[in-house]
Structure 1
Amino acid sequence: MTSEAGRPELWMCRHGETEWSRDGRHTSTTDLPLTEAGEQVATTLAQRLAGTSFDLVLTSPRLRARRTAELAGFGDAVVDGDLVEWDYGDYEGVTTDEIRRTVPGWTVFTHPSPGGETAEQVGARLDRVVARARGAGGRVLVFGHGHALRVLAARWLEQPVLDGRNLRLDTATISTLGFERETPVLLRWNTEA
Structure 2
Amino acid sequence: MTAENLGPAVPDLTPSGTPLPMLWLVRHGETEWSRDGNYTGLTDIPLTAAGEAQAEAARGKIGNVAFDRVFTSPLIRARRTAELLGYPDAEVLEHAHEWDYGQNEGRKSTEVRAENPGYIIWNDGVPGGETLEAVAARADRIISTIQAGCGTPMDQDPGAVPMERAALVAHGHFLRILAARWLGFAPDQGRHLVLGTAAVCVLGWDKHTPAVLKWNI
TM-score normalised by the chain length of structure 1: 0.94
Give unmatched runs, 5+ long, in structure 1: none
Residue pair 2:12, 2:208 contacting (<8 A) in 1 also? no
Deviations 1:77-103 (A, max 9, x none): 100012100110000011221111222
Distance 2:119 2:69 in 1: 36
Shift of 1:107: 2.1
> Are positions 1:184 and 2:210 aligned together?
yes
Could you say which structure has the greater relative contact order, defined with CA pairs below 8 angstroms and 6 or more residues apart?
1
Distance 1:66 1:57 in 2: 11
> Are positions 1:56 and 2:60 aligned together?
no
> Are positions 1:102 and 2:128 aligned together?
no
Aligned equivalent of 1:28: 41
Secondary structure of the 1:109 match is: helix
Secondary structure of the 1:101 match is: helix
Distance 2:52 2:80 in 1: 8
Give the letter for the 1:88 counterpart: Y
Shift of 1:10: 0.8
Deviations 1:12-62 (A, max 9, x none): 000000000000100011101000000111111223323101111100000
Residue pair 1:96, 1:107 contacting (<8 A) in 2 also? no
Provide the aligned length of Structure 1 versus Structure 2.
191
> Are positions 1:120 and 2:133 aligned together?
yes
Aligned equivalent of 2:169: 143
Secondary structure of the 2:194 match is: coil
**Pairwise mapping of residues 75-90 of structure 1 onto structure 2 (< 5 A)?**
75-90=88-103
Point out 4+ residue stretches in structure 1 off by more than 3 angstroms. 2-5
* % identity of equivalent residues: 47
